[in-house]
C-alpha cells in the first residue's frame, strides 16, 4: 500500500498587504497568513522589527516569484525619535549607552535634514541582520560582542520633520531605498544634534508599489476563523488578495497573445512585433488576457523569460 502524501495546501497566489501589529515578528506573521489561507507557499518582502508596525507585503504561491521586485521598491516610514538617550539597540528595547540633558530646537533639527537626503553613508545598527564573518550582527551583539560594521551607501529620497509633540520627541517621515536602517537615522541624528536619540515608535506605510491604502489589519483576517464552513471562510479570505502582477506595476509591461503565452510557458522565447514593441529592457512583465505570464528581458525585440507563471 502506497504512502499517503501530506496535504501541502492550496495553490493560491497573490499578495496580502498586512498591517502588522507591534510585538509580532515578521516570520510569525507569514506563518499565520500561510495557515489562514492554507497556502502551499508564503514569504514576505522585507522584514519589520517586532516593535515596528505597519505594511508587511506577504506573497502567497506564485507571487513569491515577484518578491525581489517588491524588496527593491522604495519604502516609506513614519517614526518617532526620543531625544536624550542612545541605546545599544537604537530603539527603546535596549540599554542606555549615552545620555544628555540637551533637547534640540525644532529649527536645529530641520537644518540638519538636508545632510540626510540623497545618497549617504550609513552604519547599520549593532542589532541588525548584517553578516560579520558568517554571523548575524544581532547574534554577536546578544553574546556581548561589539563589532565593527562597515558603512554602506543608502539612498534617502526625502526626510521630513512633521511634528514635535514634546521637547524630547520628534516625528519624521522618510522615503528611502533598499537597505536603509531607520534606527541608524535616529541614532545619527541624535549624535549630530549632540543630544543622542533612539527610535520610540516605527511604522511602515509604504513599500512600492504598495501603499497604506492596501493594508489589511491582522485582526480582520483572523476574525474569519469564526466561519465554520471551509469554502466560505477561504472565499472571504481570498477577497483580500491583491493580484500577483500588481507587484510589478513599476516595471515595463507588454500584452501578448495566447499563442505567445503558450510558447513562454514551454520555456521558449518570443518575438515582439509592432511599432510600440520595446527593443531592449532588462526587466519586463508580460500578460495575456490580463493574466501574468512571465517576467523576463527583451533584447533586439525578443522576449526571453526568466520566471514563468501558471495558467
Q: Which three cell numbers stand for residue 91?
A: 530603539
Q: Under a CB-based contact definition with an 8 Å cutoff, are residues 54 and 19 in contact?
A: yes
Q: Which residue among the candidates 49, 91, 188, 214 is catalytic per the annotation?
A: 49
d(CA 215, CA 54): 8
Three-state DSSP at 51 gives coil
For the CA atoms of 308, 221, 226, 42, the dihedral, rounded to the nearest 10 degrees, stands at: 30
Write the DSSP assignment of 169-222 as a string of letters.
EEEEEEEE-TT--HHHHHHHHHHHHTS-EEEEEEEEEEETTEEGGG-EEHHHHH
d(CA 145, CA 148): 10
Is the peptide bond preceding residue 158 cis, with omega within 30 degrees of 0? no
49 is catalytic: yes
Q: Which residues are catalytic?
A: 49
Amino acid at each position: 500500500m502506497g504512502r499517503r502524501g501530506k496535504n501541502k495546501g492550496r495553490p493560491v497566489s497573490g499578495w496580502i498587504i498586512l498591517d502588522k501589529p507591534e510585538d509580532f515578528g515578521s516570520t510569525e506573521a507569514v506563518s499565520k497568513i500561510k495557515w489562514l489561507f492554507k497556502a502551499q507557499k508564503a514569504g514576505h518582502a522585507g522584514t519589520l522589527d517586532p516593535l515596528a508596525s505597519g505594511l508587511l507585503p506577504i506573497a502567497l504561491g506564485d507571487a513569491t516569484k515577484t518578491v525581489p521586485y517588491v524588496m527593491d521598491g522604495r519604502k516609506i516610514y513614519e517614526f518617532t525619535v526620543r531625544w536624550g538617550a542612545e541605546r545599544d539597540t537604537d530603539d527603546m528595547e535596549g540599554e542606555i549607552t549615552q545620555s544628555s540633558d540637551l533637547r534640540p530646537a525644532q529649527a536645529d533639527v530641520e537644518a540638519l535634514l538636508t545632510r540626510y537626503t540623497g545618497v549617504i553613508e550609513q552604519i547599520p545598527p549593532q542589532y541588525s541582520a548584517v553578516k560579520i564573518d558568517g554571523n548575524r550582527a544581532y547574534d554577536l551583539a546578544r553574546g556581548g560582542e561589539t563589532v565593527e560594521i562597515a558603512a554602506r551607501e543608502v539612498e534617502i529620497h526625502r526626510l521630513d520633520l512633521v511634528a514635535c509633540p514634546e521637547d524630547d520627541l520628534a516625528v519624521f517621515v522618510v522615503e528611502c531605498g533598499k537597505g536603509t536602517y531607520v534606527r541608524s537615522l535616529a541614532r545619527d541624528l541624535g549624535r549630530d544634534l549632540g543630544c543622542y536619540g533612539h527610535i520610540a515608535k516605527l511604522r511602515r506605510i509604504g513599500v512600492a508599489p504598495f501603499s497604506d491604502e492596501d493594508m489589511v489589519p491582522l485582526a480582520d483576517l483572523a476574525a474569519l476563523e469564526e466561519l465554520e464552513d471551509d469554502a466560505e471562510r477561504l472565499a472571504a479570505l481570498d477577497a483580500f488578495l491583491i493580484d500577483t502582477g500588481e507587484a510589478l506595476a513599476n516595471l515595463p509591461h507588454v500584452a501578448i497573445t495566447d499563442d505567445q503565452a503558450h510558447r513562454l510557458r514551454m520555456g521558449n522565447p518570443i518575438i515582439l512585433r509592432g511599432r510600440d514593441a520595446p527593443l531592449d529592457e532588462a526587466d519586463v512583465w508580460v500578460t495575456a488576457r490580463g493574466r501574468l505570464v512571465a517576467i523576463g528581458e527583451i533584447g533586439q525585440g525578443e522576449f526571453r523569460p526568466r520566471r514563468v507563471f501558471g495558467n
